[in-house]
Amino acid sequence: MAEPSVHNIIVTGVGGQGNVLASQIIATAAVNSGYFVSVGETFGASQRGGSVMSHIRISREEAYGPLIPRGKATMIVGFEPLETLRTLIPYGNKETGVIMNLRSNYPLSVLVGEDTYPEIEKIKEAIAANSRFLVALEATELAVAAGVPVGTNMVMTGAFAGAGVLPIPPETYEGVIAGLFGGELLELNLAAFRAGLKAIAADQDLAGQRR
């Protein structure tokens, strides 16, 4: 399949999960590979438990605007199940690919008992029914296992890199990560990134559906 004129990738999650950094790594890897890239994000409320989205638009042809139009996401990288679904509803389409962390983060309305958190299986089903593919992984647990409990974003970045959405080799991402961290921190973050790569490579559903 020919590369689309623009990749519209949304990284979504809850403030504090590090999705700004993930989007910057993906975007930098693309710039370093010669693409025009635009990223739109808001981070005023990023640490306050709100819904946070980064729109990444990657094109060989021209710079796009910072916001992805409704229904035009080619890929959603969701750090949290509810946020993944929330993003898919307006921005996704039947051709959208989804990679999702299974670890829930509960909104205040759920904590106080006004709302209930939807069942994870129902969320998965709803996403699968409205997308091209869904890869769901325990990214937070993988990050903890890699020794970086806050490294969910690196695992998810690895999973994205390994999903083959962009014709950019994992080494390019690793090069970007190497520019961000040093010493032990670099090793830990690379370990988390590779855990994501490995998890996605092992995913049978994706292997079957990848085009």
Closer CB to another protein, 92 or 97, in the complex: 92
Closer CB to another protein, 69 or 169, in the complex: 69
Closer CB to another protein, 107 or 147, in the complex: 107
Least Cβ distance, residue 146 to another protein (angstroms): 14
Closer CB to another protein, 150 or 201, in the complex: 150
Binding interface with another protein (CB under 8 A): 14, 16, 24-25, 27-28, 31, 36-45, 47-51, 63-67, 69-72, 82-83, 85-86, 88-93, 103, 105-113, 115-118, 122-123, 125-126, 129-130, 140, 144, 149, 176, 179-180
Give 206-210 contacts, CB < 8 A, sequence gap 24+: 206/133, 206/135, 206/163, 209/132, 209/133, 210/133, 210/163, 210/164
Least Cβ distance, residue 121 to another protein (angstroms): 9
Least Cβ distance, residue 189 to another protein (angstroms): 14
Q: Which one, of 196, 206, 97, lies nearest residue 156 by Cα? A: 196
- Other beta carbons within 10 angstroms of residue 55's beta carbon come to 24
Closer CB to another protein, 135 or 148, in the complex: 148
Longest alpha-carbon distance in the chain: 49
Least Cβ distance, residue 124 to another protein (angstroms): 9
Least Cβ distance, residue 156 to another protein (angstroms): 14
Tell me if 157 sits within 8 A of 26, measured CB to CB.
Answer: yes
